[in-house]
Amino acid sequence: MTTKTLVCLCASLGSLAAQNVLTTTATQRYFNSVRRNLEASADAMPADKYSFRLTAGQMTFAEWLLHSADRNYTDCAMLKSENAPEAQRQLTSLKEKAEVGKALKDSFAYCAAAMEAANDQKVLAAPQTTNALLHVIVHNNEIYGNVVGYLRISGIVPPSTAARTQQKKAEK
């Protein structure tokens, strides 16, 4: 490898790091998508179904959303290098659609601010912050996968499916 090639490669890597490729991609492609899907799911499910369980051993629909909110606060507090906000401690007392939906949306807003302030250097500096970033995305997608079953059995088309259907119609 020539010196010129090495200098170009280093400059390219430096440029990529300055662009925050990891955090930007994670936020735009994955976080925003799962956020939209979970928030839309919370809105779509009727209030009387928030206490619904697919089976006796599973969480209720509301509990899935509150689990997401709880983990959002934990992981995004790690990304922000601060203690989780007081709102996290209130989650266990919530049951009704309006309050659960608001709590979920508030937790995603908290995470959106954390994601916006994050950069690749900070996220990759410690395993805890790297795991927090990845966990926000992966765990919420797992939760969404569970929530889809609750929606479908309730006769509701999941938001991700509805969005793809709309996109296909627009392309025709």
The structural domains of the chain, with segments of one domain joined by +, span 19-159
Query: Domain 19-159 is in which class?
Result: mainly alpha
Q: What is the mean pLDDT of residues 149-160?
A: 96
> How many CB atoms neighbour CB 42 within 10 A?
25
Q: What is the mean pLDDT of residues 122-131?
A: 93
pLDDT at 26 (0 to 100): 85
- pTM value? 0.84
- pLDDT of 98 > 50? The answer is yes
pLDDT at 29 (0 to 100): 87
pLDDT at 18 (0 to 100): 55
Rounded CA separation 109/13 (Å)? 31
Instruction: Output the six-digit token pair for 2.
Output: 């020539």
Instruction: Output the six-digit token pair for 125.
Output: 């500096």
Helix (H) or strand (E) holding 151: helix 127-153
